[in-house]
């Protein structure tokens, strides 16, 4: 059953041609990749800008405030990794079914994901709230930052269900080929986050505007700006309010408006089916284990950095935020790759799958090479916008310039992993990620931190990302990921 549509965009026409085994010229394949990648890149950049602005607002409160956020940031990544795997396990199945023109099957998977997502996010939130007060001390945080760090972590954990539905609905729409709505939603969330944070972080204050140069009869104008004055906790609250607003919108769009996914006024069971759950676990399970252990590794590195002091903790956290501006385009291209690979696999078009895999990976490498060069040159400006502390700025600049050299191979690892996910091949790539992180990055960081401080930690990161990109390219070249790819119903060869 095909979804009804009176008009079709160029993107929809090209995606339908994949499903119908129509021919696509090289120019059309590039065009389709661009149509999917550009909105995804914009969405990723807007997400990064949101956290960039958050960190800049928190940074204005001082080094201790930035250190409080930085201390628990990797632990939050762990919790977000858990809920993001729910989106991955189900959305890839949706891409395969849509690629096979099985839209009823896609909607069935979609319904089941809603219930499973609610249960997992509620459980994750409960655990997070329970450990929030103790976590900063477990991570080696000092007394002066522990209270703010624990409060920040707790608020984010309370918003876990909202974050999950935002991720899940956006992933479903992307795998259905709709990049526009998730992208616009990310931009909206960035704008809302700035507004909510502006009110939640800072106290009520009066801004005085000089009108002496204007013939108004007044010399100054006082404007009162309302604020809650919650500081670090306000940054978390503002982000969760923005995320909740966007989650409501993308859920409504997917359920009611999406021609491929809409389940409003349609019959169907929300009860999880064994075969769908098994497939979700087989796809997302290795990724979940990988992300959990990868985030444990990140937490371990935070513990390695913590003894270096508040300046190093703040520089590390803000440096990660600054760097993310450069690598988020890679994740945007990776999202496009997952959609293209998923639907091509579902349609049984393996030759086209291989072409899309290499094309998206090479585009990712090219884009992030340019971004790495920009990061190297703009590092002082990037750090200056995040914190007024000169010591934090100087240390962060050194770290960013070390990391800039690793961006091309970091891109290779990001997009290649997205290719493997789209094909449903996640077990060995997850193991490769874990080996690279633990055997290379954590080991080197532990060795280099006592000798070179935070710069040694970032040197370890740059070496590891380069190594990871190389081994992922080797795996993609060998092609085993395509031979064991899982897909729905169609097994045609071109």
- For 186-236, the pLDDT digits (tens) are 889 988 998 898 899 888 888 777 766 665 566 777 788 888 888 889 988
Number of H helices, E strands in the chain: 18, 2
Cβ atoms of 452 and 304 within 8 Å: the answer is: no
**Cβ-Cβ contacts under 8 Å for 274 (sequence gap 6 or more):** none
CA distance 175 to 341: 10
For tokens 């960035």, name the residue. 190
CA distance 207 to 214: 17
For tokens 């099957």, name the residue. 105
Query: Strand, helix or coil at 348?
Result: coil
Query: Strand, helix or coil at 213?
Result: coil
What is this structure's pTM? Answer: 0.75
CA distance 255 to 262: 4
Say how many residues make up the chain. 494
Token pair, residue 210, equals 């000089």
CA distance 383 to 392: 8
∠ CA(125), CA(128), CA(129), 5° rounding?
85
pLDDT in tens, the chain (494 residues): 444 444 678 888 888 888 887 888 888 888 888 888 888 888 777 877 777 777 778 878 887 888 888 788 878 877 888 888 888 899 989 988 988 889 999 999 999 999 999 999 999 999 999 999 999 888 887 888 888 899 999 999 999 999 999 999 999 998 888 888 998 998 899 889 988 988 998 888 887 777 666 655 667 777 888 888 888 899 889 989 999 999 999 999 999 999 889 999 888 889 999 999 998 988 888 888 887 788 788 778 888 888 888 888 888 888 887 888 788 888 889 988 988 898 888 878 888 889 899 999 999 999 999 999 999 999 999 898 888 888 889 999 999 999 999 999 999 999 999 999 888 888 888 899 899 999 999 999 999 999 999 999 999 999 999 999 999 999 999 888 887 665 444 443 44
CA distance 58 to 142: 18
Token pair, residue 336, equals 């496009």
């Amino acid at each position: 059953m095909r979804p009804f549509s009176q008009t079709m965009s160029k993107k929809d026409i090209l995606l339908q041609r994949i499903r119908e085994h129509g021919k696509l010229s090289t120019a059309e394949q590039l065009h389709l990749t661009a149509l999917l990648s550009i909105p995804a890149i914009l969405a990723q950049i807007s997400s990064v800008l949101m956290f960039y602005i958050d960190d800049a607002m928190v940074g204005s409160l001082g080094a201790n405030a930035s250190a409080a956020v930085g201390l628990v940031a990797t632990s939050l990544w762990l919790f977000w990794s858990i809920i993001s795997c729910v989106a991955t396990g189900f959305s890839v199945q949706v891409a395969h079914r849509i690629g096979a023109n099985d839209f009823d099957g896609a909607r069935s998977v979609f319904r089941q994901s809603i219930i499973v997502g609610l249960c997992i996010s509620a459980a994750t939130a409960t655990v997070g709230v329970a450990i929030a007060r103790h976590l900063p001390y477990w991570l080696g945080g000092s007394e002066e930052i522990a209270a703010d760090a624990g409060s920040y972590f707790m608020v984010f954990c309370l918003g876990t269900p909202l974050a999950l539905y935002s991720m899940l609905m956006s992933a479903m729409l992307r795998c259905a080929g709709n990049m526009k709505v998730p992208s616009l939603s990310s931009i909206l969330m960035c704008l809302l986050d700035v507004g909510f944070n502006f009110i939640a972080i800072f106290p009520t204050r009066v801004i005085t505007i000089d009108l002496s140069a204007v013939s108004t009869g007044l010399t100054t104008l006082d404007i009162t700006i309302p604020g809650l004055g919650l500081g670090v906790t306000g940054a978390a609250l503002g982000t969760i309010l923005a995320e909740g607003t966007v989650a409501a919108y993308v859920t409504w769009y997917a359920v009611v408006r999406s021609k491929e996914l809409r389940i409003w006024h349609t019959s169907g069971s929300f009860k999880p089916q064994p075969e769908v759950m098994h497939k979700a676990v087989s796809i997302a399970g290795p990724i979940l284990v990988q992300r959990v252990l990868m985030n444990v590794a990140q937490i371990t590195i935070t513990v390695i950095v913590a003894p270096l002091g508040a300046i190093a903790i703040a520089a590390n956290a803000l440096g990660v935020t600054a760097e993310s501006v450069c690598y988020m385009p890679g994740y945007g291209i990776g999202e496009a790759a997952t959609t293209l690979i998923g639907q091509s696999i579902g349609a049984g078009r393996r030759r086209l799958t291989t072409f899309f895999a290499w094309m998206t990976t090479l585009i990712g490498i090219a884009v992030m090479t340019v971004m790495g060069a920009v990061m190297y040159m703009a590092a002082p400006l990037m750090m200056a916008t995040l914190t007024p502390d000169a010591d934090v700025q100087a240390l962060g600049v050194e770290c960013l310039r070390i990391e800039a050299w690793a961006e091309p191979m970091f891109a290779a690892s990001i997009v290649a992993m997205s290719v493997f996910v789209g094909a449903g091949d996640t077990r060995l790539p997850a193991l490769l990620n874990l080996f690279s992180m633990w055997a290379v990055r954590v080991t080197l960081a532990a060795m280099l931190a006592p000798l070179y401080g935070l710069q040694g930690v970032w040197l370890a990161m740059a070496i590891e990302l380069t190594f990871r990109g190389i081994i992922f390219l080797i795996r993609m070249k060998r092609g085993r990921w395509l031979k064991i790819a899982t897909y729905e119903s169609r097994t045609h060869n071109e």
